[in-house]
Structure 1
Amino acid sequence: MITSKHIAKITALLVCLSLFACVMIVYAAGVNQNKKVMDYESKLFGDEILTIDIRVDENEWQEMLDNAIDKEYISADLVINGESFHTVGIRTKGNSSLSQVVSMDDSDRYSINFKFSYYVKGQTCYGLDTFCINNLMGDNTYMKDYLSYDIMKYIGVETPLMNYASVTVNGEDFGFYLALERYEKSFLDRVYDTSGGQLYSVKTTMGQGEDFTDHITGQDDADRGANGQPGAGGQRRQGNQEMPESDDTGGQLEQLNNQNGGMGAFPMGGMGGRGGGDLVYVDDNISSYRSIFNNAQSQKNSDKDKQRVITAIKNLNEGTNLEQYFDVDEILRYLAAHTVVVNLDSYTSGMAQNYYIYERDGKITVLPWDYGLAFGGFQSDSASDVVNFPIDTPVSGVSMEDRPLINKLLEVPEYKDKYHEYLRQIVDGYFVSGVFAETVMDLDAKINNYVKNDVSAFVTYEEYEASLPVFIELGTLRAQSIDGQLNGTIPSTTDGQNSDKDALIDTSGINLSVLGSMMGGGGRGEGSRGEGGQWEGGFGGMGGMPDRELMEKAMPILQENSGVLNDEIKEQLLEMGLTEEQISQVTEMTSRMPGRNAANQQSKAVSANAMDPTYAVSVFISLILLSGAILFLMRAKKTY
């Protein structure tokens, strides 16, 4: 029996252990809530728009532009927000967008990659090894990439950091761009606190290269375009060299496009399946998955590294050990956000590309990339196709069986329910709450003047302004359709929608081309801007919808009144210059976006903040120790 003289010592020891456990809980909670913070997060991707001056030898710069398709690095100094970085590697980037600019007579607005350690080993930009600036081709809104990543972040998907950048070359205006962190070592260090593991950029491959044009021309070893478009008059790569490309590629693309019902120059069933980007298991040969392994971020990865990916793919196709080989929860979040934004230049179409695989210790997660053609900018025939895109068969031009990453996960009831839960969180928390519309208007307030003065823009300032109300309406209707699909009032599969078209959301008021498309600026129709800044004719996309400035003034007034239109507010809107038809349209839109609710005051990534395992164990141990101390005291007191 424990004597009374030991009770105090034992009790003190248990209490100390409990207090120590509590301290560890607080520490673990702090670690969980505060990821590793890198200097470049605030310095490059903070609230302020970047200013980048590329200081470069003019002859070398012109040579790079003249041979843009080669993607060869040249040396330049960068002045970023007033601070200089010397001897930085810069090169053109992109595939389809690059080729399209090459074919233009009046533009050299290329996307550009900056690699700080290319010439100076170990050099970074505030800890960032590389980032790129995208030329925003095909996006009249300037926001599709940004909003897609923002939705991904909202639901807890790890994404690159992004910001806008005003770019000059030797002090002369060059253009207004979107800046993106690249998936390399600094990203892994920031997000996963390690530079370990393997990163693969999945791009559709035909033959031995990264292009599909050999499928058309009969040539091999080509750079494959992100959207499948070859460079008119461009060059073909063989290793690091270029070979002449067929001059008739454009005509053959057009012919294939016509044969394929206007859905682009890609046979239904997909180009991507030929290189492993579809994640269909073929065999154990590394060469069968060149869409993955030809685009490894590190050339130091071994055959053993690649075999781990193939093992995961094999288990995926067999539906076995899914959680051992895949970060299932992260991928379900990714699939939910990806389904919402309808980006078909991706895994979900015949292209089977534009995503990253991150493999570490045999476990795979998927990282999003290239959303400039989201919201129907690629292979979408109509606004209805985008708005009513089915959530339970979210593929286009291929079968679910052709895309095992989606098919095998959604075959598991538990995973499908979780996927639906994430869709619900996005619909309610990002769209119905008003975050989407408010973010569009906040971004517009931030970038509008830059867009107005964008010297190399692919679209006019008027086209940009006209796109924003259409963009908001498209997003609003998309969320409304997903809500109906989740509730069962709208079919959630392709077959179901084909059988019951009357149940679909009506999108007859939206002209999708106003938002831009894969073949450049897009949206230039027969309409023109009339009196009062209203779009008339075929271009406006939403009939008599008010322009951006009127919308920005009208929507907050309606939101303050919970979307309810009374005589006083109607009179106020009429005095602002809106017509009764426009008031009706804005009221309907606002009623579906009642404004920020309490949930919006929380972090956008709150749904992703699941309890860390270490934190959970600490809580459990602490509770056991505290319970033990209390029981011991009670027993000891009774014995004493």
Structure 2
Amino acid sequence: MINSKYIDKIIAVFVIVSLAFTIGFMRTSSSTEAAIVTLEPEYATKLFDKEGVIEVSIKADQSQWDDMIKNANKEEYIPCDVTINGTTFNSVGIRPKGNSSLNTIYSDPNTDRYSFKLEFDHYIKGQTCFGLDKLALNNIQADTTYMKEYLSYDLLDYMGVVSPLYSFTNIMVNDETWGFYIAVECVEESFAERNYGSNYGMLYKPESMGMNAKKKENNGENDKNKDNNGPPDMNGKGNNGGNIGPGMKGDMPQGENAPNIPQGGNGGNMPPEINGENFGENKMPLFNGNDMPNEKVSNYNNDRENEDKKNMMNIGMGRNGNSAGCDLKYVDDNIDNYSNIFNSSVFKVTDEDYERVITALKNLSEGKDLEKYIDVDQVLRYFAVNTALVNLDSYVTNMQHNYYLYENDGQLSMVPWDYNLSFAGFQSGNATSAVNFAIDTPVSGVEMSERPMLSKLLEVDEYKEKYHEYLSEIASNYFGNGIFKNKINKLNSIIGEYVKNDPSAFYTYDEYTKSLGTLKEFGRLRALSIQGQLEGTIPSTTTEQKEDSSKLIDASSINLSTMGMQGGGGEKGNRQDKKQELNLP
């Protein structure tokens, strides 16, 4: 029998051990739950169903809605109630979104099919949609296939690139069918937590297009830098968020500082035209009020039109005619020389945050400690996909945009964004030049040295070999092993009826069905060219392709314009009667 004087001590020890075990178990369970929430938030499954379509119903005051559409270029939020797959969220902020795409719709008298952003916490602080803070509703402009952006994100996901979630969506506005869109997870706090955990780093949205400057009263990509407690239309500028930097007023640089805007045809550094096809029509649309019906011209604001023309032409320029950081080139340690990066911060930032980015860019420019300052593997995967997709409305051309820069502990990586002009939908020349887009010099209108995030990595043999491995995987497995073709067929079975009944479609249903064959053939030929370039049977640089075009894959049998191109959408949108009713420009 245990001596009574030890009983109290034994009980005390037992209680302590039991308590410690319980606390430890609770911490483990909590950590596991936190990890699950971080990796798979509720909205990932409730919203982004790859096998289905999101049903979105928007209800807003009709006069507010009409005013928002009429003044879409201001990109101002209005409140609305949104029902998504049967669940209603009240007082959600909605606004039109886009740069050239928005201006294209704004200048077209026949359509008001804008892209939109839904910000769930714009009016109600802390409100989310199953954990999601913001959702983009993209109008699938310049894409006859309806699938370019979806397939691009599918390939990015297949290749392990950190990228947004996505799904097709059918949109109703005030109980009327509005259109069939693609929904994309915005790259903000929810995205950061899902991909990087609660201790995520900083995100920036470099944007060199002058039109971007006119809208940044914190209604731009970085809407998070604002006071959510204000009533509608009273959320002013936040810290560092959307403030216009010096030299960013949208003025067109002149003389030697004028931007080099690639035209059609050879598309800058694209290979020469082989078979005489010329898709040079895919230039930025001209805003000509004289082309509008007479009743429209009288209502069109000429000053606003001239501003839009100027902003459309101001491509790629920042302070003193340079890119102000969008090219990710190191200039010096002056923060002001990177204004197009830092003025578009997603989160609140400090000078220390800026300095880490500049330090990383400096080491990138010198090719030093690359794996310390660059997430090399992620960036190589990103560029392999971008190259395979011939996605030129991006970092690799004069546009130098449509990506997010992620920085964590001084290391940089790139997050993909905006792929409706992938599959050679932008400034890509003819079909043969696009199919054979050079894998070792995958830029257009610029030199490789002008895009150091790409060129400095490919200067390292080990990294170039890894980049080639990723391209081989894309060509052999994704395009060449039936995944791409089968995905198109499956998507068609899911969305075909929606496309057929899309009331604001940019293209007819017959054009849609015909485009799918072209899309499949483009993927097949692109894979053949990539494989040939990797094996050395096809030149892999732009210079070599210009010197000997006889070895290139002949793609003259396909017409890129059947898949949709920049400037090729919007003319068939059938909301003209509604625009006249609203007296829209």
TM surpasses 0.5:
yes
For 1:503, give the aligned amino acid.
Answer: K
RMSD between superposed Cα atoms in Å: 3.1
| 1:24-80 Cα deviation digits (max 9, x unpaired) | xxxx99999997211111110013201111011001100100110011111000011
Q: Please identify runs of 4+ aligned residues in structure 1 that moved more than 6 A.
A: 28-35, 227-233, 265-268
Aligned residues: 471
Q: Which runs of 5+ in 1 are unaligned?
A: 1-27, 219-226, 234-241, 257-264, 525-640
Residue in structure 1 matched with residue 405 of structure 2 by the alignment: 357
| 1:558-581 Cα deviation digits (max 9, x unpaired) | xxxxxxxxxxxxxxxxxxxxxxxx
Q: Say whether the 8 Å CA contact 1:400–1:406 is kept in structure 2.
A: yes
Residue in structure 1 matched with residue 68 of structure 2 by the alignment: 64
* CA distance, structure 2, for counterparts of residue 119 and residue 248 of structure 1: 31
Q: Secondary structure at the match of 1:168?
A: strand
Q: Say whether the 8 Å CA contact 1:358–1:367 is kept in structure 2.
A: yes
Q: 1:251 to 1:215 in 2, by over 3 A?
A: closer
* CA distance, structure 1, for counterparts of residue 180 and residue 544 of structure 2: 43
Residue in structure 2 matched with residue 286 of structure 1 by the alignment: 335
The answer as to 2:251 corresponding to 1:214 is: yes
Q: CA deviation at 1:196?
A: 2.9
* CA distance, structure 2, for counterparts of residue 206 and residue 514 of structure 1: 30
Q: 1:217 to 1:499 in 2, by over 3 A?
A: closer
For 1:413, give the aligned amino acid.
Answer: D
Q: 1:209 to 1:348 in 2, by over 3 A?
A: same
Residue in structure 2 matched with residue 140 of structure 1 by the alignment: 144
Q: Which runs of 5+ in 2 are unaligned?
A: 1-30, 215-247, 256-282, 290-300, 573-585
List aligned pairs for 1:382-421, cutoff 5 A.
Answer: 382-421=430-469
Q: 1:275 to 1:423 in 2, by over 3 A?
A: same
Q: CA deviation at 1:184?
A: 0.8
Residue in structure 1 matched with residue 346 of structure 2 by the alignment: 297
Residue in structure 2 matched with residue 105 of structure 1 by the alignment: 109
The answer as to 2:97 corresponding to 1:96 is: no
List aligned pairs for 1:137-536, cutoff 5 A.
Answer: 137-194=141-198, 196-206=200-210, 209=213, 214-215=251-252, 244-245=303-304, 247=306, 250=309, 273-298=322-347, 300-521=348-569
Q: Secondary structure at the match of 2:89?
A: strand
Structure (1/2) with the larger helix percentage: 1
For 1:399, give the aligned amino acid.
Answer: E
Q: Secondary structure at the match of 1:247?
A: helix
* CA distance, structure 2, for counterparts of residue 386 and residue 34 of structure 1: 42
Q: Say whether the 8 Å CA contact 1:205–1:212 is kept in structure 2.
A: no
Residue in structure 1 matched with residue 41 of structure 2 by the alignment: 38
List aligned pairs for 1:596-607, cutoff 5 A.
Answer: none
* CA distance, structure 1, for counterparts of residue 97 and residue 35 of structure 2: 36
Q: Say whether the 8 Å CA contact 1:157–1:334 is kept in structure 2.
A: yes
Q: Say whether the 8 Å CA contact 2:205–2:341 is kept in structure 1.
A: yes
Q: Say whether the 8 Å CA contact 2:179–2:502 is kept in structure 1.
A: yes
* CA distance, structure 2, for counterparts of residue 349 and residue 115 of structure 1: 31
Q: 1:205 to 1:505 in 2, by over 3 A?
A: same
Q: Secondary structure at the match of 1:114?
A: strand
**Could you state the TM-score of these two structures normalised by the residue count of structure 2?**
0.75
Q: Secondary structure at the match of 1:287?
A: helix
Identity across the alignment (%) = 48
Q: Say whether the 8 Å CA contact 1:517–1:523 is kept in structure 2.
A: no
| 1:372-430 Cα deviation digits (max 9, x unpaired) | 00111111220112100000000001111111111100000000011001111111110
Q: Say whether the 8 Å CA contact 2:115–2:139 is kept in structure 1.
A: yes
Residue in structure 2 matched with residue 82 of structure 1 by the alignment: 86
Q: 1:335 to 1:125 in 2, by over 3 A?
A: same
Q: Say whether the 8 Å CA contact 1:167–1:177 is kept in structure 2.
A: yes
| 1:418-444 Cα deviation digits (max 9, x unpaired) | 100111111111011110011111111
> Which protein shows a greater Rg?
1
The answer as to 2:125 corresponding to 1:121 is: yes
List aligned pairs for 1:523-602, cutoff 5 A.
Answer: none
* CA distance, structure 1, for counterparts of residue 110 and residue 406 of structure 2: 39
